Structure 1
């Protein structure tokens, strides 16, 4: 008789946008459980850069999803900053408005990119891929959402 499968650990995901509606759109597209093999997601919402930096400095964030169009500082610039300044920075997914802006997200050192309008299946799968890679401790080539 085989041992019962271990339940997947829960993940804490930080979502940043200066607009609450965009944060809601992102969390709604990904959902509370992006894949059956992953645990539930606990979302932390941040509306300012200071909130993002505070949460990342404190640790415990498994993934950050940043709005590339946020104002006054966008998620792409913030991604590049945290990737270079935060020790053990979690993976980052950047959400861009136009598919043509994917190269900017790559410049920002994002681990994955999503494009508006968000496709819930693609958003959930992209987040799931990034979380799986973090769980096993492997490097993730840039994922295109």
Structure 2
């Protein structure tokens, strides 16, 4: 039986930014994670629909997206969705990391994206997400 691929949502109004994120993370961020499938979204409505579906394992938001930025959207979703999937925010400048922290993002990537760092960061967040919560 084949394990179903994890689904990663990538949000940016710019197709080239979505492509750069997907290329950096790759189809298999780590051997223990398995393959991932991408859901590309260009608008907030699409993001909300996909995030509400319960089928997204992780989201990567472009912090510079227009007209709604990924950082504000991440903060909104973290506060509105129970058991919100982890969100990684991609920013243009290292100095913007503090804004990503404000957004309640689970991790931050900085452009230009380094494939090893991007894949490793996404794999780490996915590993954390997979750990079951066990009551004592």
Q: Give the structure-1-normalised TM-score.
A: 0.88
* 4+ residue runs over 4 A deviation: 6-9
Q: For residues 134 and 54 of structure 1, what CA distance do their matches in structure 2 show?
A: 21
Partner of residue 131, structure 1: 126
1:97-142 per-position Cα deviation (integer Å, ceiling 9, x unaligned): 000000000000000000000000000000000000011147xxxx
User: RMSD across aligned C-alpha pairs, in angstroms?
Assistant: 1.4
Partner of residue 38, structure 2: 43
Partner of residue 118, structure 1: 113
Partner of residue 32, structure 1: 27
Q: For residues 8 and 106 of structure 1, what CA distance do their matches in structure 2 show?
A: 33
Q: Give the structure-2-normalised TM-score.
A: 0.94
Aligned residue for 1:42, secondary structure, equals strand
Aligned residue pairs total: 133
Partner of residue 74, structure 1: 69
Gap runs ≥5 in structure 1? 1-5, 139-145
Gap runs ≥5 in structure 2? none
